[in-house]
Amino acid sequence: MIIGLDHIGIALDNIEELGSFLENALGIPLTGIEKVPERKLKVAFYPIGETDLELLEETGEGSTIAYFLKSRGNGLQHLAFQVDDIDKAVEYMKSKGIEFIEDKPKKGARSRRIIFMKPECTGNILMELSQCE
């Protein structure tokens, strides 16, 4: 079911600032920037081993990142676990009492299928399931 830690999402009002630090001070290369219009996001990816740092910047009002930034400021926003079959993982987790924010998985960055668990079910930490297509 869970293959590993896919990425760590970091919400920022400006991804270039932290991106520059990651590239210049730590030597971590940028592997891509993608816009996700349906989620009003710009996303930058920095790999560390098998896991990515996913820098998230809002591109429009009303996004979950805009809300996060207004209420908490820049910071760690979520953890994402890679799964081999997201539909089976969701079904299994629902059978264990885990609730999800969305009704079903949706398209995320890098053409992945994603779904977020309700933080009240995960110790108030936003967690995501992610499946590569």
pLDDT digits (tens, 9 = 90+) for 22-62: 999 999 999 999 999 988 999 999 999 999 999 999 998 88
d(CA 107, CA 93): 20
Bridge partners (DSSP) of residue 4 are 82
* Mean pLDDT confidence for 100-118: 95
- Please give the CATH superfamily to which domain 2-131 belongs: 2,3-Dihydroxybiphenyl 1,2-Dioxygenase, domain 1 (3.10.180.10)
The model's pTM is: 0.92
pLDDT above 90 (res 1) = no
